[in-house]
Amino acid sequence: TTVPSGPLEDARHASQLNQSKRVKIYIPSNTTLIGEGARVIGANFMVKGVNNVIIRNLQFENASDCFPQWDPTDGTTGNWNSQYDNISVYNATHVWVDHNSFTDANQPDTLQPLYFGRAYQQHDGALDMTNGTDLVTISWNRFTNHDKTMLIGSTDSPTYDVGKLRITIDHNAFENTLERMPRVRYGQVHLYNNFYSQAKNSALQYALGVGVASQIYAQNNFYALSPGTTAATLIKAFKGTAIHTEGDIVNGTPVDLLAAYNAANTTPLSGTVDWTPQLYTHMDATLAVPDLVRTKAGASTSITVTQDGTGTFSSIQAAINSIPVNNAMNTIISIAPGTYQEVLSVPAGKPYITLIGGSRRAKDTVIAFNNWSGSPVPGGGTLGTSGSATATFNASDFVASFLTFANTFDPASQPQTNQHQAVAVKTTGDRMIFDNDSFLGNQDTLYINTPSVATAARQLFTNSYIEGTIDFIFGRGTAVFDRDNIFIKSTTGTGPKMTAAATEAAQPYGFLIINSKVKSSSAAGTAYLGRPWPATTTANAQVTVRDTWLPDALAAAPWQSWTSPPLPWQNVRFAEYNNRGPGAAINADRPQLTSAQAALQTPITYLIGQDSWTPDILIVPNR
């Protein structure tokens, strides 16, 4: 409870001043900063007392205070207070901050220990605007995994800010940020077309802070909240009295944020502010906001991979490794034609990556390896099915286009066993797109999974080619196969099987194969659309095949049961609708959707979720 003083506190304060001299970078008037893949690490950009500054296409990382101050008088139990925003706009005018990314990178405050019973905090704001700042636009930025995100007005005293702090905040992404999005004092702030998304384990405190004399005008913002978080949480009053909200959507449903707040609090806020925004560009419909912002906000960079050494890297994994953990920058890795004999891994902490084949023909750029489930590992044991994957993609917001992924293991090389699982690609990320790709293998070619049994993950495979023998499209994830070519290779034994879904019973959607063509080299009547994989005791497979051409290789009863443990296919969620070709039929062993059911089994219904994910490629015709 005692304010720190004495030699140790003096040393801390001196060290903080010393750090300040090294990390603060002052931006002069009439300056435009444009990054081309640049990362600003540990620095505090000071836009102070200047006019006409533009900051674009930079990734700001970890402006960390090495010597934060303990203040026992801050709040009821004290707090750690840190210096250094990523960007401090202080008594400046005509400032535009556009298409940047902000992240705490590999040093988030959530990993810090407790001292004096409070979380040790080394980060201040991501982007703060204070002390008479005026006429600022904050557009198309991405703020991720940060606590105190954006402060507008630094004090309840009116000395600096009355009549100032006129700020527009539009088309920004706030992803797993906890508070101040923004918190406002005095300012006239127009907040529109922003996308707020929170992970399941997010500790969201609030989004919009209504401070003294603040005049927030919020329109057409989209909020994707984690389970248990309500719309009433989104607004918090800090001596403010009014906020205007309209056109907002929470988890896919229109919500009056102000009404939700007032219903949950004893002191209501007014919906009347003393201004109406006039000076702004096009405003998008709220439902369009998630995809627009998710794909276009943030800084962008590109990396090239070539085998001849002329690119940024000579291996794909080296390019992936160069991207920082908790990345917030859109990164395109362009891969020159060739065959890359390597195993790829994109960890969950590296979202916003696009892999693209340089020739825009999948057959020209091949990523291949020959691991299988029985491959030995150092120290004993084997790789297992998951470990056999040529490529494992665990990050969300991932795209791969014009690439071939192959597992080249030859089952004939291991005749002593019939367990020849050899995965080409395993996925666990959410909002993943594979377009114009090829997936080559035999047993277990494409493993579509989720991070955990309780977590959903959505993937879209379009204009692609997928081949295999046994259970070669399998897992518990949610996936749409749209306009794909699927080839069932012949095999011995009980016949080839295209799918082995392990959809959790709590998940409404598993695999949807639509507008596609299935072919086979198997003899007539010997191949199967799939069987249910009881990967867990709560699995209840869901597969729909609709509007798809089917070959005569299919058995008259094209669904098989799982044998051990026994799981009859009739006990799960298998269905067809409006298929065609010599393998299409309607009989007692081929459940069909009704027209009403089919209307609920579309690419959009499988993928949209609470965050309104509707990839453009579902709407734009084949390229």
The backbone region for 581, taken as left when phi is positive above 0, alpha when psi lies in -120 to 50, beta otherwise, is: left
Q: Find residue 424's DSSP bridge partners.
A: none
pLDDT for 623: 31
Residue 621 has pLDDT above 50, yes or no: no
The predicted-structure confidence for 276-295, as pLDDT tens digits, reads as follows: 999 898 899 999 999 999 99
The predicted-structure confidence for 179-238, as pLDDT tens digits, reads as follows: 999 999 999 999 999 999 998 767 899 999 999 999 999 999 999 999 889 999 999 999
The predicted-structure confidence for 61-92, as pLDDT tens digits, reads as follows: 988 888 889 888 888 888 888 889 999 999 99
pLDDT for 367: 99
What share of the chain has pLDDT > 70, as a percent? 99
Rounded to the nearest 10°, the torsion over CA 288, 293, 295, 298 is 170
Check residue 263 and report its DSSP letter.
H
Q: How confident is the model at residue 51 (pLDDT cuts 50, 70, 90)?
A: very high
pLDDT for 302: 96
Residue 153 has pLDDT above 70, yes or no: yes
pLDDT for 227: 87
Q: What is the average pLDDT across 341-354?
A: 97
Structure tokens of 317?
């994994």
d(CA 424, CA 2): 61
Give the count of alpha carbons within 13 A of 157, CB side only. Answer: 3
Q: What is the average pLDDT across 607-614?
A: 94
d(CA 279, CA 256): 24
* Amino acid at the residue 527: A
Residue 308 has pLDDT above 60, yes or no: yes
Per-residue CA distances from 361 to 49, 338, 518 (Å) = 53, 11, 21
The predicted-structure confidence for 489-522, as pLDDT tens digits, reads as follows: 999 888 999 999 999 999 999 999 999 999 999 9
Q: What is the average pLDDT across 8-26?
A: 92
d(CA 591, CA 173): 43
Residue 175 has pLDDT above 60, yes or no: yes
Q: How confident is the model at residue 619 (pLDDT cuts 50, 70, 90)?
A: low
Exposure of 409 by Cβ count < 10 A (0-12 exposed, 13-18 middle, 19+ buried)? Answer: buried
> Which residues carry out catalysis?
180
Residue 318 has pLDDT above 70, yes or no: yes
d(CA 623, CA 621): 6
d(CA 494, CA 478): 27
d(CA 589, CA 516): 22
pLDDT mean across residues, the chain: 95
Check residue 570 and report its DSSP letter.
G
Q: What single string gives the DSSP state of each residue in 120-184?
A: ---B--SEEEETT-EEEEEES-EEES-SB--EE-S-SS-TTTTT--EEEEES-EEES--B-SSEE
Residue 138 has pLDDT above 90, yes or no: yes
Residue whose entry in the numeric block shows the structure tokens 């692609």: 464
Sketch out the chain's domains with CATH numbers: 7-295 (2.160.20.10), 301-411+419-448 (2.160.20.10), 496-612 (2.160.20.10)
pLDDT for 617: 80
Structure tokens of 286?
């709220």
d(CA 210, CA 150): 13
d(CA 54, CA 73): 38
d(CA 182, CA 39): 24
Beta strands 497-501 and 528-530, pairing class? parallel
pLDDT for 74: 85
Query: Is residue 87 within 8 Å of 45, Cβ to Cβ?
Result: yes
d(CA 484, CA 462): 6
